[in-house]
Every structure is written in structure tokens, then in C-alpha cells.
């Protein structure tokens, strides 16, 4: 329970430097917030604030990775950008006219300096099903994964090959 002296209102300092009277309410609010946080975190709440932390890698960051589908004469090429994904965390499934790519990624880092300790974690996953422009032979599909780029080369079925049609 707080004592009566802690519940007293503290007069706000009025500063005149900087923006003059227009900025005064904002400066007063900053002072009030600083005093409040110093009571809640007496060891110093400004030691490690989020704006001071280095940028964390955000796996997929709420986005779907970029995927290109390239329709060639005899094959379909699918390229997917999967930064931060290990080959072991990648799953590709397909049928005649769709490909599903699933991936997970995680990042963990710990840092200790004296009595300062920081632990960072980021985890992400995604699944994306891509419709192919034609039927492909999934038994002859080749997949490579290098430098965060997945490439699937899928030969077209005999009846699915691209043909040029002459317009009369």
C-alpha cells in the first residue's frame, strides 16, 4: 500500500527552452511519464528501450514470400524467395496442377554483458499453394534450394505443351 506522501501530486516543471509555449503540453507529458516510469522501474527504465534495440530479423514478417511462375515451352519454372529458411525446414508437395510450399524459420540470440542480459527470438511459418498454368509431370520434377531461393522445374505433360495459334 502506498503512503500518503507518494500519492501527492507533484507540480509539473515548466520549461521555456525549445518550442516555447506551443510545445509545453508535450514536454509536460514527457516529464510526467518519465517520473511515473522511474517509480515503476527504479533501476532505470531507459536502459534498454525498443528503439535502442537492433533490428530483429522477422521471418516472413506477416508477408507471403515472392513467388514467380514462368511458363516455358516445355516446362514450368517456379521460383520462391525464402530468406532465413533452412533446407530441412522446407516442404514441397504437388499434384498435376498445383504446388504447395511450406516453410518455417526461427531466430534466437542471447547476449550477456555484465549484469545486462538480452534474449531475442523470432519464429515464423507460411504455406502457399500455387496454381500452375497447365498440368505437369510431377514424377520428373526437379527441385533446388540455394541462397534462400527455391527453384522447381516441372516438365509439362504431352497434351499441356504451349502451342502458338494463328489468328485469322
CATH code of the domain covering residue 70: 2.60.40.790
Residues 106 and 86: their CA atoms lie apart, in Å, by 9
**Quick one: pLDDT at residue 144?**
94
Query: Domain containing 149: what range?
Result: 60-160
Whether 61 shows a pLDDT value over 70: the answer reads no
Q: How many domains are there within the chain?
A: 2
The residue among 131, 125, 132 whose CA lies nearest residue 155 is: 132
Query: Residues 42, 106: one domain?
Result: no
68-91 pLDDT, tens digit each: 999 888 899 999 998 878 899 999
Residues 99 and 102: their CA atoms lie apart, in Å, by 10
Instruction: Look over the chain and give the mean of its residue pLDDT values, rounded to a whole number.
Output: 76
Give domain status of residue 5, yes or no.
no
Measure Cα distances from 92 to 64, 125, 128, 156, 157 in Å.
Answer: 15, 14, 10, 18, 20
Query: Residues 64, 43: one domain?
Result: no
Give domain status of residue 118, yes or no.
yes
Amino acid at each position: 500500500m502506498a503512503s500518503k506522501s507518494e500519492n501527492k501530486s507533484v507540480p509539473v516543471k515548466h520549461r521555456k527552452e525549445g518550442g516555447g509555449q506551443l510545445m509545453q503540453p508535450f514536454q509536460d507529458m514527457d516529464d510526467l511519464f518519465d517520473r511515473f516510469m522511474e517509480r515503476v522501474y527504479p533501476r532505470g527504465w531507459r536502459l534498454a528501450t525498443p528503439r535502442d534495440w537492433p533490428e530483429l530479423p522477422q521471418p516472413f514478417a506477416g508477408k507471403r514470400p515472392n513467388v514467380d511462375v514462368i511458363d516455358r515451352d516445355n516446362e514450368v519454372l517456379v521460383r520462391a524467395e525464402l530468406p532465413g529458411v533452412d533446407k530441412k525446414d522446407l516442404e514441397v508437395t504437388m499434384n498435376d496442377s498445383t504446388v504447395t510450399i511450406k516453410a518455417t524459420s526461427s531466430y534466437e540470440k542471447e547476449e550477456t554483458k555484465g549484469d545486462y542480459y538480452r534474449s531475442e527470438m523470432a519464429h515464423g511459418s507460411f504455406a502457399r499453394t500455387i496454381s500452375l498454368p497447365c498440368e505437369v509431370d510431377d514424377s520428373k520434377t526437379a527441385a533446388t534450394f540455394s541462397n534462400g531461393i527455391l527453384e522447381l522445374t516441372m516438365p509439362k505433360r504431352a497434351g499441356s505443351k504451349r502451342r502458338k495459334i494463328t489468328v485469322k
